[in-house]
Structures are given as C-alpha cells and as structure tokens.
Structure 1
C-alpha cells in the first residue's frame, strides 16, 4: 500500500469531484420537476460548479504551495462534503445553485493538488503509471457521472447524487491521513504571498464571460445584460495579465505559455473538455425528454464512452509515460472530434443507438487527451511550479467545460428557434422550453388533434439543435488539433548566440522545444 495507498486517496477525490461535474446531467429533468427551473437555471446547476472550480483553482494552487498540498487537499474534501449536504437539502433552485458554487470551491482545493501530489510522490516508470491511473479515473469519471446519476435518481431521488459524496469523502480523508505525508513549503514559497488582486480579477473575468454567454440566448447578444458583463470580463482579464506581469510572485507565471508543450496541453484539455462534454447536458435532455429513456437508460447510453476513455488512458499511462504533444494530443483531439461529430446526424425518428458509435470513438480520443495533456502540463513546468502548473491545467479543463455548456446552450436555442420558425406560434419561447427538457409540457398544452404533428415537429427541432452542437463540437476539436500541430511544429535549428556579457543565448531553444520539459 506504500505505492497504491497515496494514489487511491488522490484518485478517490479526483473521481468524486469530476463525477459531480456530469452526475447532475441526467437529474436535470427531475430537478426541474421538483424545484421548477428555467433552462438558464439548469445550465447554472452544471456551470456554477465548473465555473467555481475554474475561478478558484489558481488561487488554491498558490495556497497549496504556501501552506502544504496535503493540507489543501484535506480542506477541499471537507468543504466539498459539507456543500454536498447543502445541495442535497436545497429547497429551491437559487439555494441549489449557491451550494453548487461552494461545492466547486472545495473541489478546486482538491483538484489543484492532485497532479502536483502525484508528481512529487512518484518518479520514473511509476510516475507514468500513476498518471495513467489518474487519467483513467478522470476520463471515466466525467462519463460515468450520468450513469451513476441515473441509478441514484431513478432508484432513490435526485438528492442522493449529492448525499453519496459524504461516505466517499470520509474514505478519501482516512486514506489521505494514512498514506500521504505532510509537505512543507520551500523557502522560496514561504516568501510568497497570496495574489489577492489576481484571484479576484481572474474570478471576475471567468464569471463575467460565462454569465454573458449563458444569458445571451434569453437576453440577446446586443442587450446590456449581455454586453455589460462581457465588457467587465474582458477588462478584468486585461487587468489580470497586467498585474501578473508586474508581480514578483504571480498567481500565474505567464512565461509558462512560452513553452510549446505547456501551451499544447492547455489547448488540448480545454478544447476536448468543452467540445465533448459541453454537449452532454443536451444529449441527456434529448434522450430523456424526447426519446423518453429513464435516467438509468440515458446514463447507460454514455457507458461506452466511459469504458473506452478509461481503457485508453490506462494503456497510455503504461506504454507512453512521456508522450509527444504532436502525436498524442493531436490524435486525441482528432478522434474526439470525429466521434462527437458522428453524433450529429440524428433525425426525428432516431433512437439512442445512433449515438453509441460516436460516443465510443470520442471516448478513445478523450482517454488520450486526459493522459497526454496532464503529462505535458506537469512535464513542461519546472518542479517549483508544479502546483501552479497543476492548477492551470485544471483551470483550463473546467473553463473549457463551463464555456462549452454555456455556449452550446445558446447555440441550441438558436438552432431550435430556426427549425421551429414558421411551424409554431412562438418559435423562440417554444425553443427555450424544448431545450430545457420541456417537450412533454409543450405537448400537454396542445389540442389532442394537433399533438401528433407537434410531436414530430419538436423531435425534428431538437434533433436539428443537437446535430448543430455535435458538428460544431467536432469542428472545434479538429481546429484544436490543427492548432496543436502548428504550435508544436519542429523549429529550424537555432544558432546559439553569445551576448555582450559572454553568456550563451538559448532562449529560442527553450521556447521551441518540441516535447516535455523539466
């Protein structure tokens, strides 16, 4: 257990926090029926959590470097468990969304330490195996979330998707105290201080962008409700970059992005997570509200994705511990793009089998993406920046998901509105209800003689919306793969230059190294 004990403790926390990203997806219709919710509120149940994780990760990573990674991991587990109880007991949607945000803060404290703990506890071949196990857990957790959510929602109640976190947290805490040693900050880290302005500016920028995109489908892109938060977010990001350039100990060392391998890792995980998992909420709504599958059935449809992702991540961890960004990341995004794009050919009469092949292929791609991106992120950063690199990787992962859910929600409403235009009286209002899982509600209010025709129209509109999302997601993955190819292209051999002080200038070589750096 000296080898496996720490890894099990870390992977338990990773599995739990990533399962909670997607476990709510199949429970959204049940939440809507129980508490009453609009599409925007349902989006925030998923996005509020992911956004809180992304906004807090960089600050949590710095705190972990300052006060110890085990301490931060334990604190995150405790906050996560308490917030999970609050989610389970929520009497209405605002309380549920607020509790999900707090839950995301606890998850950020856990997530930011997982990769850095692995990188400090394991070396050599064992490090590759540990990354493979972690990547398998990360890949399967996101896809198994709907399966577990379906089982708990159908067998018990949607509130149990949160109650179940408590015993898992207790086990993770026990293993952490037993197997993971305390870590003391280095002298360099001890001299640092938390970059409070950086934390606040980054959170404001991320939150403003996601809020603007989420609300755009109801308020309109040209409305003040969309443009004001978007403008504030852009200003916050600009100020964040300026602050980071001036600080001696920045929240995010922007020089890391000069390393092609590090930039490739961030692009790979953000694009893969946003494209593949960003459309899952709408796939789940289609399966349940249009095809009338049970929560368990909807979750099981996604199972081939989870199995494929986990198997590929394990194989990669064993046979490719130091992957090439060009081969691993590009191939992963390519397969993920082809898979998710294959889900974009639904018709009004299509059933769940039309999705299985694409889900399995995208699972193969995401198994590669998780393993390769995590290894590159940690391998391309210096050891003293392990916490920062881990936090940045996790931030891009969660921001990718948050932006994916928000942007695809707006695109879904737009595509469904266009499909319904001229076929129903209020195309925009009908599209908003339909995209939120309200197909049965719309049918129940229609006269009996018009229901068969309306049912076909709604199924056609939802299929059109889902196809638009899937094909767009596939195109994004392919564009991401092309960008990684360009970013990691092999440079021409640079001639070392000697400066006036007699020091050899190797800056170009350092910035253009095609592979992991340490």
Structure 2
C-alpha cells in the first residue's frame, strides 16, 4: 500500500481515538458525577480542562511540528494522550480527573495540530485531497456515531473508567504505524517557537473561562469576576502586541487579511461553540432529566451521528464541484435549524422531541466538517500547513471551551431565575439555594439538595427545579442556533473560492 494511504489510515485512527474519547466522555459524565461526587462545575471542567489546554497549545504544537518534524511530534502527542488517558481511568476524585484531562489536552493539541498537515503533504490539492478529506470527515462521523454507543455500553457494563482504558491500546498501535509508515517532514524556514505568545494566550483563555464558570457563584459584579475579565482582556491585548512584533509569531495576524482564512476559522468556532458545546447539556437532559441510561442515551444520538457519517463523504466529493462558502453556509444554517427544532421542550415531552433537530443538525455537521478541514490548509502555503491546521483547531477548541462556559452561565442564571419565580412563596429559599437547585437539577443530584427543603414544600421545589432546567436548556439551544446563523452569514460573505488552492501542477518528468 502506498505511503499516502498509510498516512491517511494512521491519522484517521488517531483522530478516531480523539473524537471517540470526546463523545464517550459526554455520555459518561452523569456516571462520573455519581462515582466521584462531582458538582455541576466539576462536570464543566471535565470538558473544559481538556479543551483549554488543547486550544492553548495547539498553535505552539503546530509550530513545533513544522520545526522538529511532523512525524516525531505526532508520535509524541499520541504517547502523551495515551498516558493521560490511563491517569484519567485511575482518577480518585474530580480534581485529579480534571488535571489528567488537562494533560490529555496537551497530547490532543499535538495530534490535532499535525493531523491535517500530514494529510495535506501526501495528497495533491483538488480532487485527490478532497477525497482524502472526505475520508477524514467520515472518520469523524464514525467516531461521533459509535462513540455514544461505545461509551454507553462500556459505562453501563464496565464503568466509566473503561472509556479511558480504551485509548491505551489504540494509541500504542497508532504510534507503531507512525514510525513504520509515515514520512518525516518539516518547514525548513521554521526556527523558533513563540513562547511569550503561548503564555499570554493560554493565560488569557484560562482567566476568561474561569470567570464565565464562576460568575453565577461569585456574582458577576464581584471583585474576583471583574478582575478575571480584566486580566483576560489585558493578556489578550498583550498577546496581540507580541504577535505583531515577534519575528515568528505563533498566530501570524497577516493571515487574517485573507478573507477565506478568517471565514473558515469563524465557521469552525460557530459549530464548536454551539452544537459541540451543547452536547454536554443534551446529555444532561437525556440522562438526568429523562432518566435514560448511558447506553440508551447513545442509542438516541444515532440519528444525528449516522447522518453526519453518511453526509461527510458526499461533502468530500462535492468539494471540487461546489464553492466552499455555499457548503459552509448551508451546513451551518442546517445546524442552526436543527437546534431550533430541538428547542421548545416541555415537561411532558419525550426524547423524540429532539429527533427532527438531530436529523437536520447531523446532516449539517457532515456537510461542513470536510469543508472546514480542507479549506483550513488550502488557503495557505503548504510549508505552513501545520500552523494553519493548528490555528483551525484552536478556533474549534476555543469554541468548545468558551461555549460550555457561556452556555453554563446562561443555563444556570435562567434556571435560577425561573426557580425564583415559581418558589417566591416558599420561605427560606435564598438566592444561593435556588442556584444550587438549578445546578443540582442539571448534574443529577437534585434529591440530595431537596433533602434540606421542608417536606411540605419539597414537591413544589422539585417541580420548580425541573422547570428551571427546561428554561435554561431551551434558552441555550436558541442562542446556539443564533450563533450558527451568524456563522453561516459570515462564511457566505468572507470565504472566496479564488483564495483556495484547488489544483497543483503535476511534477515535471525527470
């Protein structure tokens, strides 16, 4: 088999492992909460700890790969991810788990940064690369499709720890293939890593997400939250100044003068901050509100995941025939419509209320994933494809991290407000207790919190907490849809076919 096919296979296996882990973790979150006695904030950090380190380091990882060698860097990322997965499985408490998830994000950053560049270096731009990106997109679809089922089955039968043990043998096999079958490549002009940029960007992102996660608890006008937001703004400004002045920035701001480059990053951010971030809250609804098991939840996700799987290869074929901006706009709009169809849930509704939205959103995801992957590395010179892939994955992971934090803040605030409206006559129900009820209704520990409520008011408060959950849930679904519609408009406006490399001359015969 030719080297390019081995490269595509290895990258697809590694990507499969990464995305399988993400989808599996979403389904296992309620079980993790129960076994480790985790809070709603802990559940947010299980996802955000991973997404934050991945987003903060993926740009540096792309630069390192261009400098040190993409194959070597890719193998190192696989090793870090596999070891961190083992630590996640052995976690005795939420703090240990979240720290291990942060280390997982380091390995994921390296793998994400290099995966698209490895494919781009082996497949010629145009129809051939479009086909490869279609396979890559199909891999994403398969991982998303079977992830909830695998995660649900493993969690129900062997416990949530098994979802992390699964990564160890997959990672080991991928490392072997990397060293045996992949070609080493690097950017001959890359000389150094922009560590000041890495430090300021990482710190700014961490402070921003921490402020969003803690805002409801501490108070949005409190000195702590205001200081965190101010610190994030100052560090982000410092990052932009550094990127303008250093000789080799990790985020070359000049790339954003290319409208297509900017448009594809915004498209990636839109889908990640909406649908992918909202998977956390969809899972909490299915398991903690409707009472489904992890495996039953995985089965319910099949409509959205299977459509994504079947549409992705078709999108790869269409890449060479249909303008990318139309595919991005249609795909994002479909995801927005899907989220609208999921919303408006009432207390008496069953999971089938989500079905129409799952189908439409699944088709949209399948349509845009290969397009984003292809355009991200086709609007820049191939020598900096590692950096371009890193920038794209940064926007994806920043979208997930910020999306989870923003939706969580809105979710709890709207839920708390609704609980306050419905329990205004209940004595002793303070604002802090109402917020605690809103978080408990989502994280699955409502019975424990209700134990502190007088028996005569317990049923009223329980109903109010569940009503608060639905209010917050419907709100974030609507806002997620709005984010996709904005992303669709921006993609249609910014992405231009003339800026995308679609064909490359064949090498001259010797």
Aligned to 1:212: 211
For residue 138 of structure 1, report the CA deviation from its aligned partner. 2.5
For residue 143 of structure 1, report the CA deviation from its aligned partner. 5.6
Map Cα deviations across residues 294-319 of structure 1 (whole Å, 9 max, x no partner).
01111221121111112111111123
Change (3 A) 1:438 1:143: farther
Is the 1:325–1:515 Cα contact (8 Å) retained in structure 2? no
For residue 36 of structure 1, report the CA deviation from its aligned partner. 1.3
Out of 424-433 and 387-396, give the one that drifted further. Answer: 424-433
Aligned to 2:229: 230
Is the 2:323–2:497 Cα contact (8 Å) retained in structure 1? no
- Say yes or no: does 1:486 pair with 2:485: no
For residue 198 of structure 1, report the CA deviation from its aligned partner. 1.0
Aligned to 2:269: 270
Change (3 A) 1:219 1:447: closer
> Separation in 1 of the partners of 2:286 and 2:236?
38
For residue 423 of structure 1, report the CA deviation from its aligned partner. 2.7
Aligned to 1:399: 398
Aligned to 1:506: none
Aligned to 2:7: 6
Map Cα deviations across residues 364-420 of structure 1 (whole Å, 9 max, x no partner).
111122111111111111112111100000110111111111111111101111211
> Separation in 1 of the partners of 2:435 and 2:101?
29
> Separation in 1 of the partners of 2:212 and 2:141?
26
Is the 1:321–1:375 Cα contact (8 Å) retained in structure 2? no
Aligned to 2:85: 84
Aligned to 1:128: 130
Aligned residues: 492
For residue 94 of structure 1, report the CA deviation from its aligned partner. 1.0
Aligned to 1:471: 478
Aligned to 2:150: 148
Unaligned runs of 5+ in 1: 489-511
For residue 16 of structure 1, report the CA deviation from its aligned partner. 1.2
Change (3 A) 1:198 1:367: same
Map Cα deviations across residues 210-231 of structure 1 (whole Å, 9 max, x no partner).
1111111212221222222221
Superposition CA RMSD, Å: 1.9
Is the 2:141–2:310 Cα contact (8 Å) retained in structure 1? no
Unaligned runs of 5+ in 2: 424-428, 503-510
> Separation in 1 of the partners of 2:53 and 2:459?
43
> Separation in 2 of the partners of 1:148 and 1:451?
37
For residue 67 of structure 1, report the CA deviation from its aligned partner. 0.5
Aligned to 2:257: 258
> Separation in 2 of the partners of 1:186 and 1:416?
51
Map Cα deviations across residues 50-103 of structure 1 (whole Å, 9 max, x no partner).
111100000000000001001011000001011111111011111111110001
> Separation in 2 of the partners of 1:110 and 1:149?
22
Aligned to 2:505: none
Which of 430, 443, 448 is equivalent to 1:441? 448
Out of 136-145 and 42-51, give the one that drifted further. Answer: 136-145
Aligned to 2:506: none
Secondary structure of the 2:422 match is coil
- Say yes or no: does 1:107 pair with 2:108: yes
> Separation in 1 of the partners of 2:453 and 2:289?
16
Is the 1:339–1:361 Cα contact (8 Å) retained in structure 2? yes
- Say yes or no: does 1:432 pair with 2:439: yes
Correspondence list, 1:275-314, <5 A = 275-314=274-313
> Separation in 1 of the partners of 2:72 and 2:202?
23
Change (3 A) 1:323 1:21: farther
Aligned to 1:179: 181
> Separation in 1 of the partners of 2:146 and 2:239?
36
> Separation in 2 of the partners of 1:287 and 1:108?
30
Out of 474-483 and 121-130, give the one that drifted further. Answer: 121-130
> Separation in 2 of the partners of 1:209 and 1:461?
26
Secondary structure of the 1:26 match is helix
Map Cα deviations across residues 81-128 of structure 1 (whole Å, 9 max, x no partner).
111111110111111111100010011111100000000011143211
> Separation in 2 of the partners of 1:445 and 1:392?
48
- Say yes or no: does 1:138 pair with 2:145: no
Is the 1:205–1:232 Cα contact (8 Å) retained in structure 2? yes
- Say yes or no: does 1:516 pair with 2:510: no
For residue 145 of structure 1, report the CA deviation from its aligned partner. 3.3
> Separation in 2 of the partners of 1:91 and 1:24?
16
Is the 1:129–1:321 Cα contact (8 Å) retained in structure 2? no
Is the 1:323–1:372 Cα contact (8 Å) retained in structure 2? no
- Say yes or no: does 1:335 pair with 2:342: no
Is the 2:415–2:469 Cα contact (8 Å) retained in structure 1? yes
Aligned to 1:72: 73
Secondary structure of the 2:189 match is helix
> Separation in 2 of the partners of 1:90 and 1:136?
32
- Using structure 2 for the length normalisation, give the TM-score: 0.92
Aligned to 2:508: none
